[in-house]
Structure 1
């Protein structure tokens, strides 16, 4: 998260702040944009003494930056911290939040890592800075206003608080530049469906309006999404453009991601849990960071971000699982903190995404799911609070059982390490899970939907994979049986029970009506493919290739191929693995990667 390497020839202000200076003369552009004094390039100032004078001047500069940020709060949300249009991203006024909030040694040692846990301790000026970054007290492009109606000739803008109850509330829409509008639509139509391939809510279920609303009132998320859209457009839609052009969008994406991280850092320093609105926004920003990791190949820092998200998710599960959608956990400006319809849709989607990732990545992390103790409340019953099949395609009942297999795996390894493993208990628990999976398999409808009309390999514009949820559920169920047998008996590919499920999975994969469905089956492909025999190995690589997976493709698909190849290599060479994290987690550790399976 460092804002740049320290310059030895930059202005004294940038050198004091340990920030990269553009070295424009007589005063640098960085200081000008931050609204602070540039102390030039002359002889070393007296206060630059590596002692009390330097500390005092550093505190003074930080105060000046925060004062400038508050003065500019009305325009912060209408300016990108990393302009989509310029090759060199401007320095965001909020960048100084990093210098103020993050210990210097931490930023230097882990430049790409952010602590997404939620410590306490801050002051009111930090709250004002957070509010401006959140868009809580500013709008994306100017202030929304209320206009007088009811026959009044005075159509001048008046504050909403002054409008009478009989006035018509007419809101002026935010102004979005043409290029930004194009990128925003590309994100909504193509990038978001690539991130969440099975999510296709009906208008009666609220559609995706909540997403647009959240983007427009959360500037860090908005600019991150635009930068991600620009980068994907370059990589996927224009693969033959120059490397220089791709480098520009990559730099913009990195700057926007840094701004998102800085916002979360500011939130981390706030006292107490914050408001409901703030928690929704910080959770969607963290999950967007996890989603970005998935787009980048799915191996960097996602476990850190998931741990940070868990604190906020725990607060929301209490609301979702209650019957009246109330909570006293958050600061509130309205009585009882009742969730609006849009807020409830948003919270359920975010918790669903977290729950899916938490469950699927048991095999990558070798741990029990964080939400294991409340899966029955969250996912069980005829009308569960959240429906994972609406988000990732697999039925809730199967995902609950996958979570229990992950818990069984962790229990077995810990019991073995302590010399207390009971084989009777292991087999008893496994048998119960196997019966549950077989029941789930028998409930899957036998009819299959026809092939859908996909516009292109990369964009899922009007069609999503949601019509193929039965395929996804069956693939997850068969692979869960393989997962269970590996946990009980070890990764023995030729065991009859493992062979039976692998063969059924292979048959299902060969019947997929659309190659693109493989993008919704990364978890089943990894689990089942790792137990494939040599004659079956090519099928799994071909499946991923036919779905569009290649080295430059967004997503974890290419890294899944690497993990599968390592599984096959170790089996051929009889190269043993330590049984410490679980079979798949140990394989990934041997490759120095942990692939996020989404």
Structure 2
């Protein structure tokens, strides 16, 4: 008799809706009672009953109630709570009413809507959540759940935004069918749930309650003073409808990897999009590709295994070996599937998305010394160049100039991001440098500000500097300085048109996207000027100009959200440029160490963990040289070359 065979199918349902980027505190253990969560109120978490529930005569529930998982029951419960509150308030007015003293001064207790959970000092150190948005959503306290930073487009124009809801609720379902001699016998089914509160359905007759509208107005008023184009980037798969369901087929042994990828890795891949357009990339790029793009799927499973290796301590040598085998196994399958896709000479866009995922996702999970063989990112990008040529992306970039309403393809923005900053890693010109130059002259966008937070004009200037660096060998000092001066003037022009740097949190604690963009662009702009100045003949990091620029970047970093859920991981490139020119005892090094400590485990892997190790080696060499009177700096590229590192530090 043949042995039993097992098949498994994994499915996930994704529903996109209106959502604000959550602003989570660093104390993840704080949850709040479910009654306060439903009311969108802050909970003091006193047990067995919180103060708010006691004062209003409500049942305080810390154990997840049955009605929480059902939309209709949840709405019914909300109606019950509202009626109880009305009765309680009416009773208070009946038995505790007192005459109004017209001579007394007006009360100050209700003069300004406030929240004791969002003080100005706290808002400067708290960061918008860009990770664990799925599995931890039900563990968020009310202010964290409902103070979102950016809404996705509503289901339809007539549907108002509901800031308290996640864009989708996802379940990973595994069905195992046992066969004996090809005859189906036992059937098992398991579900792994990734909860994200579901928005009201389209056409729902439920009108938002007044108290919900009041909370929404008080907490999000500052945010809506900063409109942001929600549909600037165009995804290959198009907008995902609320009824969209993706069926992801994996082997049963790979189910934990898929769960881990969706739960732990996905929120780390596009940090800026997570803050400003929550869920857009995963719902419109990642989930559709997991369903239909085999090299993309195997890439993600390999990335999940890498993240497990970086974050989980193996129990024994066998467990570590199993994780390493999973990484290598799916890496090989990724390459095999990519080669087959290229051989078919079709589906160029889908294959390019898989190729870019192989390059970019590594930046979220890689560790400095993996110990496992892999293909360098620039070799993958060389392979992607053929697809870029087939898709004629260079001409597509230029064709959008002069059309302010044109949507930028998401793949185009990804290519530009990797191409420009990757060129500085290698000391060569970007592949599409001519197209970026034309877009710079036309003042046109490539979607880089929406994707990674830095204004396009600064990124174009980084491309120009990379081009200049690649051809400076053999150029006389006078000619080189002339080119440097021209680029420097262009940087100055961007400074004159830039918005001010400031606190990127609103009074409610939500992220203000436009202000965040100003702050991130300022960091990149200063780093760009440092990179340009370092090319001047005779440049020395002890010169006053160099030290001043590094100090300026250090100051601006205080306006960037930090911590485990912060955005330090989005500023790896400027931190590398400034850090490599910082002196021993400088404010930059103190700032960098403090922010790395606040990041905790997040500072140990991904591109941030890699530059942390790289800068440590660069500083050790350069500080030792200065101690002996040698002022020549070792370049960070030389250190990477000596270490055999080929990171893409973006």
- Distance, in Å, in 1 between the alignment partners of 2:319 and 2:419 is 36
Of Structure 1 and Structure 2, the greater helix share is in: 1
1:557 aligns with 2:594: no
Cα 1:207–1:568 shift into 2, 3 Å: closer
1:289 aligns with 2:350: no
What SS does structure 2 have at the residue aligned with 1:289?
A: helix
| 1:117-516 mapped onto 2 (5 Å cutoff) | 174=247, 187-188=261-262, 190-200=264-274, 202=277, 208-229=283-304, 232=307, 235-236=310-311, 239=313, 244-245=318-319, 247-270=321-344, 274-275=345-346, 278-294=347-363, 295-297=365-367, 301-314=376-389, 315-318=391-394, 320-321=396-397, 323=399, 348-378=409-439, 381-384=442-445, 386-413=446-473, 415=474, 421-446=475-500, 448-451=502-505, 468-489=516-537, 492-515=540-563, 516=566
**Could you tell me which residue of structure 1 aligns to residue 621 of structure 2?**
570
- Distance, in Å, in 1 between the alignment partners of 2:315 and 2:392 is 44
- Distance, in Å, in 2 between the alignment partners of 1:206 and 1:223 is 18
Cα 1:466–1:302 shift into 2, 3 Å: farther
Of Structure 1 and Structure 2, the greater strand share is in: 2
Cα 1:289–1:212 shift into 2, 3 Å: same
- Distance, in Å, in 2 between the alignment partners of 1:484 and 1:324 is 29
Is the 1:397–1:440 contact (alpha carbons within 8 Å) kept by the matching residues of 2? yes
1:529 aligns with 2:579: yes
1:517 aligns with 2:592: no
- Distance, in Å, in 1 between the alignment partners of 2:612 and 2:398 is 42
- Distance, in Å, in 2 between the alignment partners of 1:590 and 1:394 is 31
What is the CA-CA distance between 1:308 and the residue it aligns to?
Answer: 1.1
Greater RCO (CA < 8 Å, at least 6 residues apart): 2
- Distance, in Å, in 2 between the alignment partners of 1:204 and 1:550 is 21
What SS does structure 2 have at the residue aligned with 1:174?
A: strand
Q: Which moved more, 1:394-403 or 1:582-591?
A: 582-591
Q: Which moved more, 1:290-299 or 1:562-571?
A: 290-299
Is the 1:198–1:392 contact (alpha carbons within 8 Å) kept by the matching residues of 2? yes
Where structure 1 has 5 or more consecutive residues not aligned to the other structure, the ranges are 1-26, 34-74, 81-139, 142-169, 326-340, 416-420, 456-461
Cα 1:280–1:324 shift into 2, 3 Å: same
- Distance, in Å, in 1 between the alignment partners of 2:246 and 2:462 is 45
TM-score by length of 2: 0.53
Is the 1:434–1:481 contact (alpha carbons within 8 Å) kept by the matching residues of 2? yes
- Distance, in Å, in 1 between the alignment partners of 2:481 and 2:7 is 59
What is the CA-CA distance between 1:585 and the residue it aligns to?
Answer: 2.0
What SS does structure 1 have at the residue aligned with 2:567?
A: helix
- Distance, in Å, in 2 between the alignment partners of 1:494 and 1:369 is 30
Instruction: Count matched residues.
Output: 402
- Distance, in Å, in 2 between the alignment partners of 1:212 and 1:564 is 36
- Distance, in Å, in 1 between the alignment partners of 2:267 and 2:319 is 25
What is the CA-CA distance between 1:506 and the residue it aligns to?
Answer: 1.4
What is the CA-CA distance between 1:382 and the residue it aligns to?
Answer: 4.6
Deviations 1:211-237 (A, max 9, x none): 32222111232243245335535754x
**Could you tell me which residue of structure 1 aligns to residue 31 of structure 2?**
none
What is the CA-CA distance between 1:486 and the residue it aligns to?
Answer: 0.5
Q: Provide the alpha-carbon RMSD of the alignment.
A: 4.5
What SS does structure 1 have at the residue aligned with 2:535?
A: helix
What SS does structure 2 have at the residue aligned with 1:556?
A: helix
What is the CA-CA distance between 1:528 and the residue it aligns to?
Answer: 0.3
Cα 1:348–1:387 shift into 2, 3 Å: same
**Could you tell me which residue of structure 1 aligns to residue 20 of structure 2?**
none
**Could you tell me which residue of structure 1 aligns to residue 648 of structure 2?**
596
Deviations 1:570-590 (A, max 9, x none): 3233388999xx933223223
What SS does structure 1 have at the residue aligned with 2:247?
A: coil
Is the 1:234–1:241 contact (alpha carbons within 8 Å) kept by the matching residues of 2? no
What is the CA-CA distance between 1:190 and the residue it aligns to?
Answer: 4.3
- Distance, in Å, in 1 between the alignment partners of 2:244 and 2:580 is 56
What SS does structure 2 have at the residue aligned with 1:471?
A: helix
Deviations 1:253-289 (A, max 9, x none): 321221110012223445xxx33xx211221221122
Cα 1:381–1:284 shift into 2, 3 Å: same
Cα 1:230–1:473 shift into 2, 3 Å: same
Deviations 1:496-548 (A, max 9, x none): 22122111011122343434221111111111011111112343233333223
TM-score by length of 1: 0.57
Deviations 1:374-410 (A, max 9, x none): 11345664543x2101111111000011111111111
- Distance, in Å, in 2 between the alignment partners of 1:467 and 1:241 is 45
